[in-house]
Structure formats: C-alpha cells, structure tokens
Amino acid sequence: MEFVVEHDLGSTRAVILGRQGKYGEAVRQYLDENQESEALDLALEHIDEVAQDSEAFNAIVETFLWRYISFGCRGWPESADIPSHKIDELLGNIPGTHLSDRDKKTVCDHDCFLQERQLTSAVQLFIFRLIFQEVKSEKAQKILCNHVLRCESLSLDSQARAVRLLAFDYIFDDVSLAFDISSQDGVVSSMELFHQYSLLIRDVAIDKTPWDSSWLMTLFQFEKDGEGVRIRPGTFLYQDYRAREPSPNQSAEDLGHGAVTLSREAFAQNLSRALSERLYPRIKDKDRTTARLRLFDPCIPVIVHGACRGGHSFVHHLDVAWFNRRARYHLQHIMILDNLYAFGLLDDFPVRVKSQR
C-alpha cells in the first residue's frame, strides 16, 4: 500500500482497499479515479457496509442519483452511462429506500426516532425511487404530503431544502392528484404545501449568486467553470437552454454531447426564466382545480330562512374556524401569486392586481 500511495496508483489502491474489506473507502477511491462502474459494482456487492460510511454513501447518491434524477428530470435517461437495472438494484437494496410504516407515522413527531441526517437520507431515497419508477399514485402522494413534507427537521439544512424542492416539484407534476379537495381542511393543507413549493422556487429564482449555493448545485447539477457556470446534459437547465438556443451553427457540444458553459449573468437569467415558466402553468392548474370549489361558500337559505333542503356542500355553521379557513384559502392564492411576481414573469401592475382579485 505504501508503494501504491507513493506512486499515486489510485485504481490499484481501490482494489487493495476492497480486499481489505474497506469497501466505503474503496468506493470513494474508484470515484476519485472516475471509475464509476467499478464503484457501483462494489457498492452493490457490499451495500450495507458502504451505506454505513457517510462519505461513501453521499458520493454514491451524488454520482448515481442526483446526477441523473435532479430537478425536473423524470424516469431514467436512455443516454445514461449506467444501466437502469443497476440503479433499480441500488435503490432496492440501500437501507432506508422505503419508508416503513413506523417512519410514516413518526416522521412528523418532535420525538422522531430518526436522526435528522438519517431522515433526510431516507426521504431522498424514497423520492428518488418514486421518480425513477415514475410512480404516480394517490398513496405515494399521501405519504409525501401528509407525512414527509410536514417534518420540521426537513427544512433545517441546505441538503434538506434540495430534497424538499425535488419532492414538491414531483408532487405537483399533477396538481389535480396532489390536491385534496374533499374537505376544507384538506384543500387548505394542499394550498399550504403549494405555497411552500412556490416560496422555494422564488428563493431560487431571486438568488443573486446561485453558483455559490451548494444545495442549488446539487439540485440542478451545475458547477462553476472559472468565471462562468457549466450546465450538464440531461438536466432541467440544459434542456431549457437547448430549447431556447437552437441554431444551425451549433457545435456538437451544444447539440447535447457535452456540457455548456454560460456566463454567470446569462445563467442567472436562464435559471430565473426557466423556474418562472415552471411555476406559472402549475399555478394555472391549481386555479383550474380549485375554481369550482364550494366548500367555503355559506348556505344562503340557512342564513335567510334558518333551514335548507340539503343535498349540497355549502357551509351551515358559520363559526370562527370556518372564517379562518376561508380567509387562509383565499390569502394563500394571493401569496402564491406574489411569489411568482417576485421574479418578474408578470410584472405589469394592473395584470397583477386583476389576478389577485
């Protein structure tokens, strides 16, 4: 080993570490040598040991999950160097990929048995699996909305913010499925989650130096490149760039065979514009989903005559709780629009006021 280290034989060092049973360190060494296939194979063979090495575990998640399932990406790209069956095996075998019933029930509790980092890891693996398998079900939505995204510890650090926004963006792919419009409490709760989503999107879009934010670099998979910013193929921002900058004179690099470097100013503008156009149609979907709701409307016959024939969902008991829920529901619509206008998609004041009304 001394000879290997002295002569900087990284690949050989990884082999020796593996034979010594130091699997986590061996995985990290393989990744340092850009031997991703070897690193993944070793991790799959000794996943329990690798998962206990936090540095190796984070490197595996960053290299094989965040790289291909970052913000806005769905399924597994056909162009990926790593075959999908290996990722399926990885997600199926990493401890914590599936949230157990106990996790689901306790994830919101203040005395949660999971440590903060363990919880963040379990949640991100659960979300990666949903996105990888393109699961769109009411059960998955309920787990995320009712348990995962309501845990306070998932908003305490930067990594958790990346996980939350990844989850929110996935949930609101289908707003009609994500929204619970069966009750007043349900729709207010759904609106609150959508407001949190719009708030995170706004925070990203108005960030003056996103290239200095580690959680944004993880979430969107870009990196600094001197005085510019490099965006990688297969990412949300790269696809947006390709859609906006078609040109017959584009090089092979610009056509999708390599990363593209933008100036910091151009990158910030593209990021803000792409996110505004991501959020705007989802707000429209939210408005269509809730436009015909009558859950908060008072029953006029009861108010006027003291009785009605029933057969509708109008409110009979106009108490303080009803008023507060109704006020929250309408104010949340306005706050969501404010988050959108904060980065200038619709900056015409009359249009803004009309939308809020």
Q: Tens of pLDDT along 75-130?
A: 888 778 888 888 888 888 776 544 454 444 444 443 333 344 555 677 778 888 88
Helix residue spans in the chain (DSSP H): 2-6, 10-19, 23-32, 36-45, 47-52, 54-61, 84-93, 101-106, 116-132, 138-146, 158-171, 175-178, 184-205, 214-220, 236-244, 264-290, 300-305, 320-341, 349-356
Q: How many CB atoms lie within 10 A of CB 339?
A: 23
pLDDT in tens, 45-83: 888 888 888 888 888 888 888 988 899 888 888 778 888
From 38-47, 53-62, 214-223, 346-355, the region with the lowest mean pLDDT: 346-355
As beta bridge partners, residue 315 has 298
Determine the length of the chain.
Answer: 357
* Residue 250 reports pLDDT greater than 70: no
Q: How many Cα atoms sit within 13 Å of 148 on the Cβ side?
A: 29
Give the mean pLDDT of 297-311: 65
pLDDT score of 222:
93
Predicted pLDDT at 119: 54
pLDDT at 256 over 80: no
3-state secondary structure of 222: strand
| pLDDT at site 211 | 92
Q: Which amino acid is at 183?
A: S
What's residue 108's pLDDT?
41
pTM for the whole structure: 0.79
- Model confidence pLDDT, tens digit, residues 191-202: 888 999 999 999
Please report, rounded to a whole number, the percentage of residues in the chain having pLDDT higher than 90: 17
How many whole angstroms separate alpha carbon 86 and alpha carbon 81? Answer: 11
Q: What is the pLDDT of residue 292?
A: 79
Q: What is the pLDDT of residue 54?
A: 82
Give per-residue pLDDT as tens, 149-190. 666 555 556 678 888 899 899 989 888 888 888 887 888 888
Mean pLDDT, the chain, whole residue set: 78
pLDDT score of 345 more than 60? no
Q: Which pLDDT value is given to residue 184?
A: 77
Q: For 263-276, what is each residue's pLDDT tens digit?
A: 999 999 999 999 99
8 or 47, higher pLDDT: 47
Residue 14 to residues 18, 21, 32, 86, 170, Cα–Cα distance (Å): 6, 11, 10, 21, 37
Indicate the angle between helix axes 236-244 and 264-290, nearest 10 degrees: 100
